[in-house]
Structure 1
């Protein structure tokens, strides 16, 4: 099934806290840079569009469910970050808020819709993640040169 909705802007990765389910280990404690600004640059330069278009072709999400995702801000809540403990790219998919019914959602959903949305968000994040990995590989970016060689000094 192909979804035909207006593509949302890429997630704003700035000003986010520590990723959910993330724990520092003793070797990397103090390396607090998740390179989100750099990843956001890659998303804005085409990785989001490329991943979203690919995902849109095969998602099971329908227009009503997509509207709920948009209303709840879940497209923008997907998080991408560089994991300094494992020296690799990761993503974090937002959970549908427990109080979603009290929020300004323009459509009504049932439990099947919620399950479909959850799966679709994970698929979207994974698809964009794979595109980001390709961008990183093409650029030859690794943990040693993220900010300095490619993106300028960020005061590290």
Structure 2
């Protein structure tokens, strides 16, 4: 199933959360306060990683256009966050929580549909995370050497 929607702008990466707040992340032994990896991830998202991951996800998602419209209206896309996982050398992600009252009491969405939306949003985060890891973070390149210092 293909979701026929326009690719939204990538999420803005705000201040990082604790590493344990991200999916697919093993907490580092010590906290690193550098913003360099975070700024690089934000740049990668702007430079095409978000678009490539979203495009791959929408070709396989079961989310409907109506559900996606509600997700956009609720601002859930900008709730995504990505994190350079120092401990494992990979990208973790945090999927925005779908509120219990999503989208509204008078909506036709049932609880099972909200759960399906949560699962599809998690899949979007995982897909974008994998695109970042495989296509954007070149660990052997000099231009990304700062990652090896953390």
- Gapped runs of 5+ residues in structure 1? 149-156
- 1:23/1:145 CA distance change after superposition, 3 Å: closer
> Residues 17-96 of structure 1 correspond to what in structure 2 (within 5 A)?
17-19=17-19, 20=21, 27-29=29-31, 31-33=32-34, 35-96=37-98
Matched length = 144
Instruction: Work out the CA distance in 2 between the residues paired with 1:82 and 1:71.
Output: 28
Distance apart, 1:98 and its partner CA: 2.9
Q: Report the TM-score when normalising by structure 2.
A: 0.79
Instruction: Work out the CA distance in 2 between the residues paired with 1:101 and 1:84.
Output: 36
CA RMSD of aligned residues (A): 3.0
- Gapped runs of 5+ residues in structure 2? none
**Do the aligned partners of 1:14 and 1:37 also contact (CA within 8 Å) in 2?**
no
- 1:102/1:112 CA distance change after superposition, 3 Å: closer
Distance apart, 1:17 and its partner CA: 3.5
**Do the aligned partners of 1:61 and 1:117 also contact (CA within 8 Å) in 2?**
yes
Instruction: Work out the CA distance in 2 between the residues paired with 1:141 and 1:72.
Output: 40
Stretch deviating more after TM superposition (76-85 or 47-56): 76-85
**Do the aligned partners of 2:5 and 2:65 also contact (CA within 8 Å) in 1?**
yes
